[in-house]
Chains A and B, each alone.
Chain A
Amino acid sequence: MRLQLLALLAKEPAHGYELKQALEQIFGSAYPSPNIGQIYVTLGRLEKDGLVRGVDVEQSNRPNKKVYYCTAAGREALDEWVDAPSEGPRVRDEFFMKLVLAPMTGIADRMALINRQRRHYLGIMRDLVELAEQTDRDNRPAQLLIEGAMLHLQADLDWLERCQEDLL
């Protein structure tokens, strides 16, 4: 979560709870709601690395809150992140390992493995369709995230089909 938080702080200084709210608002239910404790831990690490700095702000009849802002070094780290290409999709995933290794040991049949995996993916797809319906049409980041997940799933399913054809 380091760089997401850094990006939000590069936009404007904020305290932990505001960052949590901003993430929820931007990504909606299409992204796991960040845990506030996790956010504070991450902010602490970012501060230790000199990428953000926290300033105590006094509040009347409440404990002080810490507002964080992005430092010059933080800005540099953010630029580096944005400029670097992102990893491609995982293909040597756990299922692939099962598919290759399990039949060698005689503990599973490849056809059965593929069939089970297909049903599982379709179950996820059903959830995504529902999620897309429940998500505000105007929340573009959330809709695009869901659509991306759907396209990845479709590719995974097409690949399962290829694996199954290979068994012929």
Chain B
Amino acid sequence: MTTAPSGPPALQTVNLVKIYQTGGLPVPAVRGVDLRVERGEFVAIMGPSGSGKSTLVHMLGGLDTRTSGEIWIDGRRADTLSESAWAILRRQKIGFVFQFFNLVGNMTVADNVELPALLSGASPKHARERREYLLGELNLTDKADEAPGRLSGGEQQRVALARALANQPQVLLADEPTGNLDSRNTRDVLRLLGQVHRQGQTIVMVTHEARVAGLADRVVTLLDGQIVDDGAVAPARRRKQGPGDVVELHG
């Protein structure tokens, strides 16, 4: 299902390294990662805790600085940009969902979601339509006028996802976007991710949840700061057997 490359990759890293200095001791978190994500691809990043997954996506989003190596976003070298230039690039090209939602407390849910689209120059009408679509898909239409603080953790998480997608960013970066969600809300989030992916959205997502990773075209596994596996999810076997047998295998 990998989209044929058209133009530069949405995202690329070359020998990317992150070393934290804690108490004078160098602690390598990411140790030479080469990753190329084509436009329209959905990549899940998996691996045990401490394997460098979050550090990697934080660097991709400019939330953390690299120690060495290169980061390219849509054909532009990003890691050498000034902080303000990075911020502009980020606003134009990248949507984020992280474990902490960082919603603006004194704005309504609707305004939180519309803000990124407005900042990037969308018309108010367009921003509103996009917001209505996203909140609708995430079952949050009736929360539009609430303050984020009055929402549950799971609801705030979904608002953060809507906000990240408001812009139709070139790349959606997500770090455990279903971490706080119950089974039903996870299903809504998965449905929306699948939908925007089919519409061409590039997604790079850290997750330990197999249900979420199973949606991806490609899974990258990190271990101890390095990529140990990178490839397509095994093709479905259902056509040969019938869905029931899939369940029986583990039933």
Residues on A close to B: CB < 8 A?
A: 27, 29-33, 111, 115, 118-132, 134, 145-150, 152-154, 156-158, 161-162, 164-165, 167-168
Contact (Cβ within 8 A) B248 A119? no
Contacts of A147 in B (CB 8 A): 183
Contacts of A130 in B (CB 8 A): 236, 238, 243
Contact (Cβ within 8 A) A149 B210? no
A165-B48 contact in complex given A115-B228, A123-B234, A149-B246, C-beta closer than 8 Å: yes
Chain A: CB-nearest residue to B191: A133
A153 to B234, CA, bound (A): 15
Contact (Cβ within 8 A) B48 A126? no
Contact (Cβ within 8 A) B244 A32? yes
Q: A29-B242, A122-B234 are in contact. List 7 more A-B contacts (CB 8 A).
A: A30-B247, A119-B232, A122-B210, A125-B214, A128-B214, A130-B238, A167-B223
Q: How far is the CB of A155 from chain B (nearest CB, A)?
A: 10
Contact (Cβ within 8 A) A33 B244? yes
25 contacts between A and B (CB under 8 A): A29-B242, A30-B243, A31-B247, A32-B242, A32-B244, A111-B228, A118-B46, A119-B229, A119-B231, A120-B234, A123-B214, A123-B235, A124-B249, A125-B214, A126-B214, A127-B236, A128-B247, A129-B211, A130-B243, A149-B250, A154-B210, A154-B211, A158-B208, A161-B46, A164-B223
Q: How far is the CB of B225 from chain A (nearest CB, A)?
A: 11
Contacts of B238 in A (CB 8 A): 127, 130-131
A145-B210 contact in complex given A115-B221, A123-B235, C-beta closer than 8 Å: no
Q: How far is the CB of A144 from chain B (nearest CB, A)?
A: 11
The answer to whether the Cβ of B181 comes within 8 Å of any Cβ in the partner chain is no
Contact (Cβ within 8 A) A127 B232? no
Contacts of A146 in B (CB 8 A): 247
Q: How far is the CB of A147 from chain B (nearest CB, A)?
A: 7
Q: Which of B219, B223, B233 meets A165, CB within 8 Å?
A: B223
Contacts of A156 in B (CB 8 A): 250
Most buried by A among B210, B211, B224, B242: B210
Contact (Cβ within 8 A) B248 A31? yes
Q: How far is the CB of B205 from chain A (nearest CB, A)?
A: 13
A31 to B247, CA, bound (A): 7
Chain B: CB-nearest residue to A157: B210
The answer to whether the Cβ of B237 comes within 8 Å of any Cβ in the partner chain is yes
Contact (Cβ within 8 A) A125 B247? no
Contacts of B232 in A (CB 8 A): 119
The answer to whether the Cβ of B147 comes within 8 Å of any Cβ in the partner chain is no
Contacts of A118 in B (CB 8 A): 46, 219, 221, 229
Contacts of A29 in B (CB 8 A): 242-244
Q: Which of B215, B221, B223, B246 meets A124, CB within 8 Å?
A: B246
A33 to B245, CA, bound (A): 9
Chain B: CB-nearest residue to A156: B250
Contacts of B245 in A (CB 8 A): 32
Contact (Cβ within 8 A) B228 A31? no
Q: Which of B190, B233, B246 meets A119, CB within 8 Å?
A: B233
Contacts of B250 in A (CB 8 A): 124, 148-149, 152-153, 156
Contacts of A33 in B (CB 8 A): 242, 244
Contacts of A149 in B (CB 8 A): 246-247, 249-251
A168 to B222, CA, bound (A): 12
Chain B: CB-nearest residue to A147: B183
Contact (Cβ within 8 A) A129 B190? yes
The answer to whether the Cβ of B47 comes within 8 Å of any Cβ in the partner chain is yes
Contact (Cβ within 8 A) B48 A164? yes
Q: How far is the CB of A110 from chain B (nearest CB, A)?
A: 11
Chain A: CB-nearest residue to B223: A164
